[in-house]
């Protein structure tokens, strides 16, 4: 049955698949400590659901096995834009894609073993998912805190199908970064405070996606052109670089829904109202930032780009009713001026 499930999962398009015992994740304690140290920032939902997130029995009573899958999301081509978006958000929202495939897999298993109960987990318990992926042999933890597969790198989504079925378990993945510390040195905000530890409060992914209020000034210039998310610590990782003897590395996603959708230019984002935002990004993970968050990020990117043509668009927010957008516009104008070599003291007209 285990082998049949794996073959079926591969036929559904999953590049990686393994089976782990449905047990509390081995790294549960370090996750709880990480939360206690405040590294999760304003992601209170992690705190609220922490205990649930570390126990498969909370998600499916009598769970015995976890079928863990990996789906490559790296699009074949990065889109032409004047800003950057993390690769995982360039195509269709992964939640729907992954859930649909895992539900098909569950249906096929239940057709063969009708008494089996199952539960699909996609981002419902990320800690559990990553630990289970390690236990199922999909990859090992990198110093950038991503799960890395020696042959395929780290550009893949993880999904879990919990089952009440007993299956044959795979062995935990072996591998490691060795002495490499490229990700720690490349992180623009110093968010990787030590190997394997991320201070999310400094991470551009958290700042641009999860943070709802103002982005602290200390990190704005370091955001560079990242409008939504950040891939730097994955881009520099040698396991994401093509190698002659590693033909699977850096292969583009086979899933057509993960190919990059066309993106608006920065000036279009700066002129979008909430309705236009919703219509433009429907079905994309970018909606997670919400309209205000994306415009706030766009103002920062506009300042960082130093393009004088963007100045009138930044000024549109100088007297906006939203204080966060007003204040960010002020900063962006000063940054723009500084990038153009003037004193950096220009303010809203
Ligand atoms: S995603 Fe970007 S900001 Fe966050 S840890 Fe990686 S390199 Fe640093």
Structure confidence by residue, pLDDT tens digits, 185-232: 999 999 999 999 999 999 999 999 999 999 999 999 999 999 999 999
Q: What is the position in ligand 1's atom list of the atom closest to the CA of 192? A: 5
Q: How far is the CA of 12 from the centre of ligand 1 (A)?
A: 31
Which residue among 34, 87, 192 has the greatest number of ligand 1 atoms within 8 angstroms of its CB, and so is best to mutate? 192
Instruction: At 303, list the tokens.
Output: 């300042």
Alpha carbon separation from 343 to 142, 249, 299, 334 (Å, rounded) = 42, 46, 19, 8
Give me the half-sphere count of Cα atoms (radius 13 Å) on the Cβ side of residue 281.
23
pLDDT value of residue 346:
61
Q: How far is the CA of 104 from the centre of ligand 1 (A)?
A: 34
pTM of the model: 0.93
Q: Say if ligand 1 is within 6 A of residue 299 CB.
A: no
The residues, ordered by sequence, that sit 6+ positions from 280 with a Cβ below 8 Å of its Cβ are 264, 272
pLDDT value of residue 341:
80
Does the CA dihedral 48-54-56-61 come out positive or negative?
negative
pLDDT value of residue 244:
74
Q: How far is the CA of 202 from the centre of ligand 1 (A)?
A: 8
Q: Say if ligand 1 is within 6 A of residue 145 CB.
A: no
Report the distance separating Cα 195 and Cα 83, nearest Å.
28
Q: Say if ligand 1 is within 6 A of residue 205 CB.
A: yes
Q: Say if ligand 1 is within 6 A of residue 325 CB.
A: no
Low-confidence stretches of the chain (pLDDT < 50) are: none
Residue closest to 163 by CA, chosen among 64, 239, 258, 238: 64
Q: Give catalytic residue positions.
A: 123
Q: How far is the CA of 234 from the centre of ligand 1 (A)?
A: 8
Q: What is the largest CA-CA distance in the chain?
A: 72
Q: Say if ligand 1 is within 6 A of residue 203 CB.
A: yes
- If you take atom 6 of ligand 1, which residue's CA is the nearest one? 233
| Burial of 101: CB neighbours in 10 Å, binned 0-12, 13-18, 19+ | buried
pLDDT value of residue 59:
86
């Amino acid at each position: 049955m285990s082998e049949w499930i794996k073959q079926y999962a591969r036929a559904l398009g999953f590049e990686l698949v393994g089976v782990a015992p449905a047990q509390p994740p081995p790294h549960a304690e370090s996750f709880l400590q990480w939360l206690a140290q405040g590294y999760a920032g304003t992601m209170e939902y992690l705190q609220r659901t922490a205990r649930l997130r570390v126990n498969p029995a909370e998600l499916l009573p009598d769970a015995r096995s976890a079928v863990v899958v990996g789906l490559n999301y790296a699009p074949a081509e990065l889109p032409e834009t004047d800003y950057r978006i993390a690769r995982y958000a360039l195509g269709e929202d992964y939640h729907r894609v992954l859930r649909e495939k895992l539900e098909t897999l569950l249906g096929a298993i239940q057709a063969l073993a009708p008494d089996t109960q199952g539960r699909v987990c996609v981002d419902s318990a990320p800690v559990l998912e990553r630990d289970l992926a390690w236990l199922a042999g999909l990859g090992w933890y990198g110093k950038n805190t991503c799960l890395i597969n020696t042959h395929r790198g780290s550009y893949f989504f993880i999904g879990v199908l919990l089952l009440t079925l007993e299956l044959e378990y795979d062995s935990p993945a072996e591998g490691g970064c060795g002495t490499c510390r490229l990700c720690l040195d490349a992180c623009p905000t110093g968010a990787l405070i030590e190997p394997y530890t991320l201070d999310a409060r400094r991470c551009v992914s958290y700042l641009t996606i999860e943070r709802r209020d103002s982005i602290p000034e200390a990190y704005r210039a370091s955001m560079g052109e990242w409008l939504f998310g950040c891939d730097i610590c994955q881009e520099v990782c040698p396991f994401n670089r093509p190698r002659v003897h590693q033909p699977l590395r850096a292969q583009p996603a086979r899933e057509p829904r993960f190919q990059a959708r066309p993106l608006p230019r920065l000036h279009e984002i700066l002129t979008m109202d909430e309705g236009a935002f919703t219509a433009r990004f429907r079905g994309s993970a970018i909606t997670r930032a919400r309209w205000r968050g994306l415009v706030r990020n766009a103002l920062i990117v506009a300042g960082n780009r130093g393009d004088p043509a963007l100045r009138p668009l930044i000024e549109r927010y100088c007297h906006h009713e939203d204080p966060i957008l007003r204040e960010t516009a002020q900063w962006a104008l000063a940054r723009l001026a500084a990038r153009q070599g003037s004193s950096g003291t220009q303010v809203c007209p």
